Structure formats: C-alpha cells, structure tokens
Chains A and B, each alone.
Chain A
Amino acid sequence: MAASFVALAGLVLFVLVPLAVLVTVTVVVARAGRRAAASPTEVPLRDAPAAYRRAVVHARTTAWASWALLVGASVAVGMVAATVPGGFAPEAFGAPTASAGLVFLAACAVGELTWPTPDGPVRRAPLQVRTVDTVTPRGLRRLVWAWAALLVVTLVATGVTGARGTELTLRFGTEATSTASPYPGWRYGLPLMAAALVVVAACEAVLRLVARRPAVADTAPDDDRRLRRVSARRVLAAVQLVLAITAATVLAVTANATRAAASARGGSTTALSTQPPSVDVVAAVLGVVAGLLAVAVLVTGVVVTVVALARAANEAGRPVTPPPAVAGSAEPAGAPS
C-alpha cells in the first residue's frame, strides 16, 4: 500500500528531476550547436534551405511534445495511484512504464507520420537502401535492449524466488522462515515484463517510421541522414530512460525486500532452530548488490539520456551542405541494349 505509493512517487520524481536536468542541458547545448559554417561548402542552419529548416522545427516540436506527454503521463499515473485506496494492485504495476513509454512513442509516431512531404517542383531521393540500422545510433539501440533484458532477467529471477507472487520468504533450516514484501514476484513481474516488451516493440516500430519517412526536400543525403539519426537518438534516449527507471525501481524493491528478509530473523521469523547462517548472509549480499545495481542503472540511464539529447540538439543545429548537382539529371538517355 504505502510502499506502492512510495514506489510510484519515486518514479514520478525520477522522471521530473532528470527532466529538469535534460531540459537545461539540451537548451544550452542546442544554443552552442548553432555555430557558424565549418567549411566554405556549408551554410549555417539559419541560411539552410527552407525545407530543411522546416524539418528541423518539426523534429524539435515533436521532441518537446513527446517529452511533455511522457512527463504528463507519469504525473497522471502517479496521481491516480495516490487517489486509489491502497495504491495500485500488483497487476497494475506495468502501468507507469507502459503509459510513459507508449504515450511518448505515440507522439513520436504522429510526428513521423506527419513529416513534411516534398512539395517543390524539383525532388531528390538518395539511391541507397535505408534501414533502421543505417539511421539508428547502434549503442543506444543496444542499450534499450540491454535494459529490457536486465529487467526481464531480474523479474524472472524474482518471480522464481518469490512466494505468493508478492513476497520473499527465506527458509533457515527446516522450520524458521523470514518473509518480506513487497517483492517483485510474478504478480508484479508479469505485467511489468509485458509493459517493457510492448514498449520495446513500439520503439522498433517508431524507428522504422524514422527510416521510412520522406527525405527532406532540397537537402543533401548526408544532412537528411543526420536528421534521421537525430530523431532516432531522441526516441531511443527516452525509451532507454523509461526502461532504466523501471529496472532500477525493480532492483531497488528487490534489494529492500531481500535485505529486510535477511535481517528479520528475530522479527518476523516464525520459528528458530539450528540455523545455518549462510542463507541470510547470501541474501544480505544479494540485497546490497541489487541496491548498488539499481543506483548504477538509474545513474547510467539519466547520464545517457542527457548526453544523447545534447548530441541530438547539437547535430540538429549543425551547418548543412547545399544539395549536390545530380549526375544524369538531364534529358533521359535510352536504355542500354
């Protein structure tokens, strides 16, 4: 009850506080990124073709709207949890992850589907195959899958070791037991796993939209590709943050329950007999490891988000190269015999 509320309030705080840092750093770096052209062939963003500038504004608007909705969804879920007597049921614990992730990704998808289409008389298209792999920062994409894998592995481990779906029971010898809760057993774990997998699948779908959206008119292929990477980086930054916060929360709850069960042999222990000390020692060590891992995951997730959004803002503000002259754009030749 109270613990579930604390967990949700912590989730909201974990989102709001990092977001304040993100906004500050992103604005600072975005301003720094509007630098002068680096070479004679480049022009600064303010002198870039109108279509490119329109695309940059569209991408930026999409990013701000998506983040606003992500925070809004997190706060709304937190408020709902606060008003529900006893907080969320364990089966609803996937709601914060799913709502934050899916609302964000839905906004991103709308942004990609409404991407400006070429409208001038002269249109250009790169003659190269474009896939999700070619427009996505590989490290960030792997990190998303790594957080999802960590979450699933943790939840499977806690599901297997949990009792009655929400508790951890340590057995000392044949008679003594120590129980602690909340513990992410199957009742918490299955909805959370489902939420995480749905978010990862939706993320891959949005990345596909980024790869497939129309090329920016009147723009060199390299600049168009860079703008796609900016969009993909922003999508992955948020998704990995949502998954990192979820994984960190699960690890923190696991750590608390494990430490509490290990140290409660005199409290909630139902019987005492000749007890080998190894069980509580192992549990205590595992609890500390899980706690440290939770902090590491959370810090890594926030730092990666800040760096990724700063890089995206910097890349979006970079000077652009005017589109190249097209070979073979004259009157068409005949087909070879």
Chain B
Amino acid sequence: MTLVLEVDVDSGVPVYEQIRGQVVAHVAAGRLHPGDRLPTIRALAADLGIAPGTVAHAFRELEQAGVLATRRRTGTVVAQGATPADTGPRRAAQAYVRQVRAAGLSDEEAVALVRGALLGTP
C-alpha cells in the first residue's frame, strides 16, 4: 500500500505542522522504517501544490527531532534512531482506532479522547 500525505490548506493547523505530524505518525505506526527514502522536497511540494519552503520547514523540524536524516547520495531518509512505538501500545492504538470507527467518531473526537485520557492520567 502506498503511504499518502494529506494536508488541508484551509485548516487552522499550519501545513508544515500537518506534514510533520503525519510523517511522525507513519513512523510511530511502523509504516515507515529506518532507511526508507522519502520524496524530495520539490516533489512533495509539487504534488501538494504548496511552496517548497513549507515542506523544507517540516523536514527541518523532523531532522532536528531525529525522525529524518538527509544524506548527500540517497536524499532524505527515515533516521536509524526513529523507531516505531512499542508493540503493545501500537496494537492498543490500532484497536482503539477500530473502536472509534465502529462508534462513528470523527478523527478529531478520537484524538480529543486520547488527549483527555493523557490529561487525566499522571
């Protein structure tokens, strides 16, 4: 299955932040592995119809966070230190997503539930 980035340019969340968050999510879910190559900044910007600087901003933050690494020959790849979440929490997250889908909740509502649980649990 081809992984896809999706951004909403009308969203209140900055586009670079949407890109950064989705790349992190793909890595955490184990869909992107260390060493996987990502498209160039220019290619992603062309596909999304946004300025290359926006994608560059997201990639720069991801590099600083240790999620991505840029190599001269291979371009931008998932960094060796970027590992998916532990198996247990990942499976729990997948089960949680299945439940909220079955319950008909939106993505925003599902994330709000998690945030609420995180706030309420020390």
Interface residues, chain A, with chain B CB atoms under 8 Å away: 117-119, 121-130, 212-215, 217, 221-222, 323-324, 326-336
* B5 and A125 form a contact (CB under 8 A): yes
- Choose one: B44, B62, B108; the contact of A335 (CB below 8 Å): B62
- Asked whether, in the complex, the Cβ of B8 is within 8 Å of the Cβ of A124, the reply is no
Which residues of B sit under 8 angstroms from A122, Cβ to Cβ? 6-9
**Cβ < 8 Å to A, chain B residues 61-89:** 61-62, 65-67, 75, 82-83, 85
The reply to whether A121 and B8 contact each other, CB–CB distance below 8 Å, is: yes
Question: B39 touching A336 by the CB < 8 A rule?
Answer: no
21 contacts between A and B (CB under 8 A): A122-B8, A123-B50, A124-B6, A125-B44, A125-B48, A126-B39, A127-B3, A127-B38, A129-B43, A130-B43, A212-B42, A214-B47, A324-B4, A327-B25, A327-B26, A328-B26, A330-B108, A331-B111, A332-B13, A332-B24, A336-B27
Q: Given the complex of chains A and B, what is the CA–CA distance between A213 and B46 in angstroms?
A: 7
User: In the assembly, what is the distance between CA of A125 and CA of B17, in Å?
Assistant: 15
- Beyond A125-B43, A126-B2, A331-B13: 17 further Cβ-contacts under 8 Å? A118-B47, A123-B8, A124-B6, A124-B47, A125-B5, A125-B44, A126-B3, A129-B39, A215-B46, A328-B24, A329-B18, A329-B107, A330-B110, A332-B13, A332-B17, A332-B25, A333-B21
For the complex, what is the distance from the CA of A333 to the CA of B118, rounded to whole Å?
Answer: 13
CB-based closest 6 A-B pairs: A332-B21, A328-B25, A118-B49, A125-B47, A330-B107, A335-B65
B47 near A332 with CB under 8 A, answer no
Nearest A residue to B6 by beta-carbon distance?
A326
Q: What B residues does A217 contact at CB under 8 A?
A: 49
In the complex, which residues of chain B have a beta carbon less than 8 angstroms from the beta carbon of A125? 4-5, 39, 43-44, 47-48
CA distance A327 to B4 in the complex (A): 8
CB within 8 Å of A: which of B8-24?
8-10, 13, 17-18, 20-24
A contact patch SS: loop
Encode B94-122 as 1/0 by CB contact (under 8 A) with A.
00000000000001101100000000000
Alpha-carbon separation in the docked complex, A324 to B24 (Å):
19
CA of A212 to CA of B22, assembled, Å: 22
Question: Taking A119-B49, A212-B43, A335-B61 as contacts, is the C-beta distance between A129 and B7 under 8 angstroms?
Answer: no
Q: A127-B38, A221-B2, A222-B2 are in contact. Are A121 and B26 (CB under 8 A)?
A: no
Q: Collect the chain B residues with CB atoms within 8 Å of residue A330's CB.
A: 107-108, 110-111
Residue in contact with A117 in the complex, picked from B27, B28, B43, B49, CB distance below 8 Å: B49
Chain B residues positioned under 8 Å from A121 (CB to CB): 8-10
Assess whether A123 is in contact with B111, with CB atoms less than 8 Å apart.
Answer: no
Nearest to B31 among chain A residues (CB) is: A327
Q: Residue of B at shortest CB range from A125?
A: B47
CB of B35 to closest CB in A, whole Å = 13
Contact of B21 among A118, A126, A127, A328 (CB under 8 A): A328
With a cutoff of 8 Å between Cβ atoms, the chain A residues found around residue B20 in the complex are 332, 335
Among A117, A130, A333, residue most surrounded by chain B Cβ atoms (within 10 Å)? A333
Neighbouring B residues of A335 by C-beta, 8 Å: 20, 24, 61-62, 65, 67
Asked if residues A331 and B38 are in contact (CB atoms below 8 Å), the reply is: no
CB atoms of A221 and B4 under 8 A apart: yes
Contact of A336 among B3, B50, B82 (CB under 8 A): B82
**Cα–Cα distance between A192 and B25 once the two chains are bound (Å):** 55
B33 in the interface (beta carbon within 8 A): no
Instruction: Give the nearest-CB partner of B76 in chain A.
Output: A129
Contact B2 A127, beta carbon cutoff 8 Å: yes
CB neighbours of B66 from chain A (8 A) = 336
A123 contacts B24, CB within 8 Å? no
| Complex-state Cα separation, A332 to B32, whole angstroms | 16
A129 contacts across to B, CB distance below 8 A: 37-40, 43, 75
A118 to B47, CA, bound (A): 7
Do residues A331 and B6 form an inter-chain contact, with CB atoms below 8 A?
no
Q: Are B7 and A127 in contact (CB under 8 A)?
A: no
B19 to chain A: closest CB distance in Å? 9
Cα distance, A137 to B111, chains bound together (Å): 43
The residues of A that contact B24 with a CB separation of less than 8 Å are 328, 332-336
Partner of A332, one of B4, B22, B29: B22
Assess whether A328 is in contact with B49, with CB atoms less than 8 Å apart.
no
For the complex, what is the distance from the CA of A117 to the CA of B44, rounded to whole Å? 12
